[in-house]
Structure 1
Amino acid sequence: MRKFMRKFGVPAAFAFFCSLLSAPAFAAYKAEYKLDIVPSITTGWGMGAQYFSDLVKERSEGKINIKVYPNAQLTTGKQTNAFMLLRNGTIDFACQSTINYSPQIPELNLFALPFFFAAQPDRYKALDAVTNGKAGEMIAKAIEAKGGKFICFGENGFRELTNSKRSIASPEDLDGLKIRVVGSPLFLDTFKALGANPVTMVWSDTMSAIQQGVVDGQENPINTFYPVKIYEYHKFVTNWHYVADPTLFVVNPKVWDSFSPEDQALLTQAAKEAAAYQIALARVGLDEKDGGKNLDFLKGIEKMPEISDWNKQLTEVGMTVTDLSPEQMKVFMDKTQSIRDAWRSKIGEDLVKAAEEDMAAAK
């Protein structure tokens, strides 16, 4: 500094020193950032998360290395603790189900209101209207108010029902069945209202419980339960679309702030592209009204799915597929009306109303 002052003078040295203070001070990037997911990489959820990691590494030329940790490794199986671990910095990034963050962020229970989206003429159009509308903005703010940096919505899929006992076409068919559910009071309330015996269990313990007959059934999106070969134990599947299961691309706020604006833009764009991929995987062969657009999208990014006709595939591996008629669906909806009514205030009346208005506008 003394040599600098002698060469350029005190005013120039002072100006140089001030410029150092005012320049953005980004921390050195980590060698590895941890990204949390619950299922395996082979699921649509996992494939979307891995695509995000791959895009970021490629576009940052290896500067930002995000490693996906599947099978709830970072939460040691306790998936409903995931948000607390992201908030305290144990987890850097996550592609998490709204369900697993709902214990800390009640607004996320919106997506788990039974038959809230399934009642709409086009459930996917209704879901998109909410995630892209006023309700989605409110949810993003709720996540950030609790200590997470929201990037965008992805998708795990609508959750369907499998079991080892019988075809399910009415609430009476559920009487007494032990159904594995995630540790959420709303899921417990829903299945009790339908006459089942819900059993709270983390996903990492579920397959062994199914194999041992501890539970009779479970509910999950098809592209989550098919890769774990649930069809070897459950011969019945009911497509009832009873709750939606978006995923959230999120990051710890301090980690986010450590990136330059250019890299934040890179991460945001990569997350949005990965989310679009994940959404297409969650819908291909399941969205009756997509006109083939999800398959075309996957072809366009050269990521063709192995399966594009799920009912045919499930039948071929020995499952009996039950698709509910509108009349059958209404029976389930009526049976759970009290649950939707009771949970409106817990989720937030303003948020539920905003979601209803978003869906109405989409019609």
Structure 2
Amino acid sequence: MTFKTLLAAAGATVAVALTGPVAHAADYKDEYKVSTVLPAPFPWGIAADEWVRLVAERTDGRINMKVYSGTQLVAGEQTKEFNAMRRGAIDMAVGSTINWSPQIVEMNLFAMPFLLPDYAALDALTNGPVGDRLFEIIRENGVEPLAWAENGFREVTNSQHPIETPADLEGLKMRVVGSPLFNDTFTALGANPVQMSWADAKPALTTGAVDGQENPLTVYSVAKMHEIGQQYITTWHYVADPLIFAVSDKAWGDFTPEDQEILRQAAIDAGRAGIEAARAGLTDEDDSMIQEIKGHGVTVTRLTEEQRQAFVEATRDVYDAWKAKIGPDLVEMAEESIANR
């Protein structure tokens, strides 16, 4: 082969290298739809909006994402979000482990009653081998997970009286999410759980159709639930609700490796912002949100370790049954990670 021929071949290779990714990027959708349940100023929406902003900024607008809150892309059916993403009907999501648990049973880990005592325990799972294993499972199901965010620990509220013992839940109609584990937990505590979406929950609380509910206090605060009779709160940290930034395999395959890395790092950065928002005012160092809620005349009960243990014992059979369903190896890995945090 002559020098001229080699030079021409090299030039063609360079041209392909330079134009290939650009041509690929030109095939991107005009808009990638991002599914969430809650918009800003909820921490969930803050995390999603930050992801969209960072990706747009770091790709100079080449990747255009838009948040659709209220799980409107699946007509408000929160538990159908993962299946829709797996099929490619939804491009991306900042989704809840609770809402994805009907399709991936291992996602129920974070809803095991009283598994997680504090934020350090939650971080030990999401940032350790448990989080890595869960991401592997999500990939095996046709979705690319990118990063963690947080909706927060779920606390219990009601309109009737303080909840300090399991007996205080006896007979209360409690709104819970559409997960069998939540139904089993509240049944074990003597309550009457009623499964409904968040869109239906607030009207039901307003009319008194249900007595109470369980949600992070950021949701309570932003939704001004003190105005609809939820005058009693117990901070019991009984389950947590981590969020996951993810992309359907169908959409993920659209992107160049460089843009995939931009999407992933933007999700990691947005996840940090979402976690910070989810914990603001709710820590031992800063309890300003708790104080603000109390300022509305709300009774906030913080369980002692002895009181919390009574709830642990009341739900032990549920814990053991779901440990078998989720997978003893994964649960034991989580227990070990928490013990060593």
Q: Secondary structure at the match of 1:286?
A: coil
The 3 A distance-change label for structure 1 pair 13 and 269 is closer
Give me the whole-angstrom Cα distance separating, in 1, the residues matched to 2:196 and 2:260.
36
Superposed, 1:197-216 pairs within 5 Å as 197-216=192-211
Matches within 5 A, 1:154-193: 154-193=149-188
Q: Deviations over 1:105-136 (max 9, x none)?
A: 00000000000012xxxx11111111111111
Aligned length: 334
TM-score (norm 1): 0.87
Deviations 1:290-333 (A, max 9, x none): x56xxxxxxxxxxxxxxx61221111122111111111100001
Matched residues in 2 for 1:59 and 1:70: separation? 23
Tell me whether 1:257 sits opposite 2:253 in the alignment. Answer: yes
**What is the TM-score with the length of structure 2 in the denominator?**
0.93
In structure 2, what residue type is equivalent to 1:215?
V
* Aligned residues of 1:45 and 1:224 also touching (Cα < 8 A): no
Following TM superposition, the consecutive aligned residue runs of length 4 or more in structure 1 with deviations greater than 4 angstroms are: 11-17, 19-25
> Displacement of 1:351 after TM fit?
0.6
User: What SS class does the counterpart of residue 24 from structure 2 fall into?
Assistant: coil
Q: Which residue is equivalent to 1:131?
A: 126
* Counterpart residue number, 1:326: 305
Higher mean C-alpha displacement, 100-109 vs 210-219: 210-219
Q: How does 1:21-40 map to 2 (within 5 A)?
A: 26=24, 28-40=27-39
1:304 corresponding residue in structure 2: none
Structure 1 unpaired stretches of 5+: 1-7, 293-307
Question: SS at 2:163's partner residue?
Answer: coil
Q: Distance in 2 between matches of 1:163 and 1:77?
A: 24
Report the residue type matching 1:26 in the other structure. Answer: H
Corresponding residue of 1:153: 148
Q: Percent sequence identity over matched residues?
A: 48
Write the distance in 2 (CA, Å) between the matches of 1:357 and 1:46. Answer: 32
User: In the aligned structure 1, how far is the partner of 2:257 from the partner of 2:86?
Assistant: 21
- What is aligned with 2:224? 229
Say which of 285, 288, 292 aligns to 1:313.
292
1:44 aligned partner: 43
| Paired position in structure 2 for 1:298 | none
**Residue 117 of structure 1 aligns to a residue in which SS?**
coil
Q: Distance in 2 between matches of 1:107 and 1:73?
A: 25
Measured in 1, the distance between the counterparts of 2:126 and 2:290 equals: 27
Deviation at 1:360, TM superposition (A): 2.1
Q: Partner of 2:89 in structure 1?
A: 90
Alignment partner of 1:269 is 2:265: yes
Counterpart residue number, 2:76: 77
Instruction: Tell me the alpha carbon deviations over residues 152-183 of structure 1, each in whole angstroms, 9 at most, x when there is no partner.
Output: 11111000011111111111110000000011
Q: Which runs of 5+ in 2 are unaligned?
A: none
Output the amino acid matched with 2:299: T
Q: Which amino acid aligns with 1:352?
A: V
Between the aligned partners of 1:15 and 1:68, the Cα distance in structure 2 is 42
2:275 to 273, 279, 291: 279
State the 1:23 CA deviation.
5.3
Q: CA deviation at 1:210?
A: 0.9
SS at match of 1:157: strand
Q: Distance in 1 between matches of 2:146 and 2:56?
A: 17
What is the letter of the counterpart of residue 46 of structure 1? G
Matched, 1:358 2:337: yes
State the alpha-carbon separation in 2 of the partners of residues 225 and 148 from structure 1.
31
**Which residue does 1:341 correspond to in 2?**
320
Residues 324-344 of structure 1: CA deviation (Å, up to 9, x unaligned)? 111110000110111110011
Letter in 1 for 2:320: D
Deviation at 1:26?
A: 2.9
Output the CA distance in 1 between the equivalents of 2:74 and 2:223: 20
Structure 1 contact 72–204 (Cα < 8 Å) conserved: no
2:243 counterpart of 1:247: yes
Q: Deviations over 1:159-218 (max 9, x none)?
A: 001111111111111000000001100000000000000000011111111111111101
Q: CA deviation at 1:224?
A: 1.6
Distance in 2 (alpha carbons) for counterparts of 1:287 and 1:66: 33
Paired position in structure 1 for 2:215: 220
Q: What CA distance in whole angstroms lies between the structure 1 residues aligned with 2:82 and 2:247?
A: 10
